């Protein structure tokens, strides 16, 4: 269960109505039952539901680590329909750090504030179910060009997935050793991070590919078959998480 730090006082968690509903009505917990509370920023606590069912007591902090060793951002051209929800839950399960939904030359969508709220709730629920320490950030949608300017860390490895052409495979383009280097001892060291962009159903336009290259994004392939716009980010992230964790 994700809680806000304002709900926490002297080892007591004060549950909101919807959290109480979830624990008591959905999960059918009762007094004395234990569950895990997290703040979505890295802290986890084993907690016990109190007799009044509206509070819980923290029993102990839990030290678990399920995060990828470095930050991975996905820039994703928003697909029409509900496909973005599937991307958010799958990418959260696979360890994404943040997602930037973008409009591209071939897609123009203006998701409502309610939709954005729903996307963030899906990220939170998926983070809970896959025992993440953090809830991935879902940024407000940007234009693709603007999203390229958001990448300000110099030590970021940038990739743009392109469905056609004789280009290197993402798996052969990840400098796994550099990405996993233990650099704790170097002062002012900026840890590496990865950004991967995947396009809309109609693909990126040549102009977008040129802009991405100018922003130091390397064109990469995800294999010989053309993947759907909702499959490509999941495949890209599966490759990255496997390369970082295997
Ligand atoms: N007709 C489009 C084209 O030719 O580019 C196909 C676009 S594909 C349905 C949607 C997005 O998924 C692409 O823009 C790309 O980012 C990604 N993608 C799909 N298959 C891919 C592959 N085999 N390699 C790299 N990227 C791929």
DSSP string, 200-233: -TT---HHHHHHHHHTTPEEEB--SSPPPTTTHH
Quick: pLDDT tens for 138-147: 999 999 999 9
Cβ(69)–Cβ(244) under 8 Å? yes
- The whole-number average pLDDT for the span 209-213 is 97
Give the domain extent around 27.
Answer: 5-61
My answer on whether 55 and 140 are in the same domain is no
Say yes or no: CB of residue 180 within 6 Å of ligand 1.
no
Supply the residue whose CA is at minimum distance from atom 18 of ligand 1.
163
Top mean-pLDDT range of 27-36, 55-64, 205-214: 205-214
Question: What pLDDT, on the 0 to 100 scale, is given for residue 147?
Answer: 95
Say yes or no: CB of residue 75 within 6 Å of ligand 1.
no
Position 66 in a domain: no
CATH number, position 82 = 3.40.1280.10
CA–centroid distance, residue 66 to ligand 1 (Å): 30
CATH number, position 39 = 2.40.240.20
Say yes or no: CB of residue 144 within 6 Å of ligand 1.
no
CA–centroid distance, residue 166 to ligand 1 (Å): 13
Nearest to 45 by CA among 67, 31, 26, 63: 63
- The whole-number average pLDDT for the span 128-152 is 91
pLDDT band with cut points at 50, 70 and 90 for residue 185: low
In this model, does residue 231 exceed pLDDT 80? yes
CA–centroid distance, residue 45 to ligand 1 (Å): 41
In this model, does residue 190 exceed pLDDT 80? no
CA–centroid distance, residue 182 to ligand 1 (Å): 34
My answer on whether 134 and 223 are in the same domain is yes
Mean pLDDT of the chain: 91
Position 123 in a domain: yes
- The whole-number average pLDDT for the span 126-139 is 91
Quick: pLDDT tens for 40-96: 777 888 899 999 999 999 999 887 788 898 999 999 999 988 899 999 999 999 999
Supply the residue whose CA is at minimum distance from atom 7 of ligand 1.
203
Question: What pLDDT, on the 0 to 100 scale, is given for residue 150?
Answer: 84
Supply the residue whose CA is at minimum distance from atom 5 of ligand 1.
203
My answer on whether 122 and 219 are in the same domain is yes
Q: With left for phi above 0 and alpha for psi between -120 and 50, is residue 189 left, alpha or beta? A: beta
Question: What pLDDT, on the 0 to 100 scale, is given for residue 235?
Answer: 98
- Has the ipTM of the complex gone over 0.90? yes
Cβ(85)–Cβ(233) under 8 Å? no
Domain total for the chain?
2
Domain edge (last residue) among 41, 61, 81: 61
């Amino acid at each position: 269960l994700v809680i806000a730090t304002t709900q926490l006082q002297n080892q007591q968690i004060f549950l909101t109505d919807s959290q109480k509903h979830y624990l008591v009505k959905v999960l059918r917990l009762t007094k004395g039952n234990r569950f895990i509370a997290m703040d979505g920023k890295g802290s986890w606590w084993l907690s016990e539901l109190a007799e009044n069912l509206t509070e819980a007591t923290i029993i102990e902090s839990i030290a678990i680590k399920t995060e990828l060793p470095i930050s991975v951002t996905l820039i994703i051209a928003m697909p029409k329909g509900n496909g973005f929800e599937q991307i958010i839950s799958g990418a959260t399960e696979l360890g994404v750090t943040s997602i930037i939904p973008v409009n591209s030359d071939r897609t123009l969508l203006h998701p409502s504030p309610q939709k954005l709220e729903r996307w963030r709730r899906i990220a939170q629920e998926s983070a809970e179910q896959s025992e993440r320490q953090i809830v991935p950030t879902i940024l407000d949608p940007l234009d693709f060009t603007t999203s390229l300017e958001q990448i300000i860390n110099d030590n970021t490895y940038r990739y743009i997935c392109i469905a056609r052409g004789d280009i290197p495979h993402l798996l052969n383009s990840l400098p796994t050793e550099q990405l996993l280097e233990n650099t704790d001892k170097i002062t002012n060291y900026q840890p590496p991070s990865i950004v991967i962009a995947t396009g809309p159903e109609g693909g990126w336009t040549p102009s977008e590919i040129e802009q991405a290259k100018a922003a130091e994004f390397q064109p990469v392939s995800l294999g010989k078959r053309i993947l759907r716009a909702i499959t490509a980010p999941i495949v890209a992230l599966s490759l990255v998480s496997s390369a970082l964790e295997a």
